[in-house]
């Protein structure tokens, strides 16, 4: 069984529609796919419907923009209820922040001699509710300023880069709490990718596991080399965290992230399903809301 638990669609900064993603998942020989668009659940129903046609099981996910000490940390949420008020309110704030920073980024790009207009960016965003830097990168490509998204990030948009503007994110501990309140599981995405090892050292991951009931960490991810994967796997083992694996597929938007290039062990996936079933049954046991 081949399980890829972290992918993106055009509902955020991927390039496949949710239905195309599920068709491509079948072609890639996947049995289970987690769709985890940034800060939105909007693609899940379309993906589930196409998944049923393709014989690919959908895991309902989302990648939440969190931060620790001012640096970005991505938190994967599995099986969280989109209507949970706390989570929904915070996700809306994050999406507002994504749009709100756009003018600042565009002013910096203009000053750097690579102007693009808000309309050019919004043409790339389409009807995605989650405006991302990759969309700005796509506008820079369309305007002929860069060749691909990677060049746009390397020259301008990366964290701390000359056109980077911070946006609203959720404190990591609070993000974990909101996901749990929504009945979901919380797994830190690519915890040690792009130099984040110092931000999330073993001691911090230990506190998150023990005091905040973090469920898991992504181990097999393209941003982790073999040594990082080995050390994260042993850390997950000693802390009782579920080790997941994924492609973090973005369609043609990210090179070397083909569907299924990393996968999650079936035993880990079964444990995720067991925990979600438990969360669901404990929600169902709550006394029914009085209705008028």
Residues near Zn ion, by CB under 5 A: 63, 248
Q: How far is the CB of 91 from ligand AMP (least distance, A)?
A: 13
The answer to whether 11 and 135 have CB atoms below 8 angstroms apart is no
State the number of binding residues for Fe ion (CB under 5 A).
3
Q: How far is the CB of 90 from Fe ion (least distance, A)?
A: 17
Q: How far is the CB of 229 from ligand AMP (least distance, A)?
A: 20
Residues 174-203 that bind Fe ion (CB under 5 A): 189
Q: Using the rule CB under 5 A, which residue among 3, 5, 13, 263 binds Fe ion?
A: 13
Q: How far is the CB of 205 from ligand AMP (least distance, A)?
A: 21
Comparison of 9 and 84: residue with beta carbon closer to Zn ion: 9
Q: How far is the CB of 7 from Zn ion (least distance, A)?
A: 8
The answer to whether 9 and 25 have CB atoms below 8 angstroms apart is no
Q: Using the rule CB under 5 A, which residue among 74, 135, 145, 221 binds Fe ion?
A: 74
The answer to whether 23 and 52 have CB atoms below 8 angstroms apart is no
Provide the 10 A C-beta neighbour count for residue 226: 7
Query: What is the rounded CA–CA span in Å between residue 36 and residue 44?
Result: 9
Provide the 10 A C-beta neighbour count for residue 165: 15
Query: From ligand AMP, Zn ion, Fe ion, none, which one binds at residue 150 (CB under 5 to 8 Å depending on kind)?
Result: ligand AMP
Q: Interface with Fe ion includes 39 (CB under 5 A)?
A: no
Residue nearest to Fe ion (CB): 74
Provide the 10 A C-beta neighbour count for residue 172: 26
Query: From Zn ion, ligand AMP, Fe ion, none, which one binds at residue 60 (CB under 5 to 8 Å depending on kind)?
Result: none
Residues that bind ligand AMP (CB under 6 A): 13, 38, 132-134, 150, 153, 158, 250
Residues that bind Fe ion (CB under 5 A): 13, 74, 189
């Amino acid at each position: 069984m081949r399980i890829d638990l972290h992918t993106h669609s055009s509902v955020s900064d991927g390039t496949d529609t949710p239905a195309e993603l599920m068709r491509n998942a079948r072609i890639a020989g996947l049995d289970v796919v987690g769709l985890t668009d940034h800060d939105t659940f909007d693609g899940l129903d379309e993906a589930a419907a196409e998944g049923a046609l393709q014989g690919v099981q959908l895991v309902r996910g989302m990648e939440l923009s969190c931060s620790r000490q001012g640096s970005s940390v991505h938190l994967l949420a599995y099986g969280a209820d989109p209507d949970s008020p706390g989570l929904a309110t915070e996700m809306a704030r994050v999406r507002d922040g994504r749009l709100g920073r756009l003018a600042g980024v565009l002013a910096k790009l203009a000053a750097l001699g690579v102007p693009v207009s808000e309309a050019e960016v919004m043409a790339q965003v389409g009807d995605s509710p989650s405006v991302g830097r990759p969309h700005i990168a796509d506008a820079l490509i369309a305007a002929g300023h860069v060749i691909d998204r990677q060049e746009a990030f390397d020259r301008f948009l990366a964290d701390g880069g000359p056109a980077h503007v911070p946006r609203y994110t959720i404190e990591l501990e609070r993000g974990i709490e909101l996901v749990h309140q929504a009945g979901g599981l919380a797994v830190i995405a690519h915890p040690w990718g792009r130099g984040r090892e110092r931000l999330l050292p073993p001691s911090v991951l230990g506190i998150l596991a023990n005091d905040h009931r973090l469920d898991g960490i992504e181990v097999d991810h393209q941003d982790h080399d073999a040594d990082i994967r080995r050390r994260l796997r042993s850390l997950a083992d000693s802390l009782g965290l579920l080790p997941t694996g994924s492609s973090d597929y973005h369609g043609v938007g990210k090179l070397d992230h083909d569907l299924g290039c990393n996968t999650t062990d079936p035993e880990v996936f079964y444990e995720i399903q067991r925990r979600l079933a438990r969360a669901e049954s404990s929600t169902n046991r709550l006394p029914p809301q009085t209705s008028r």
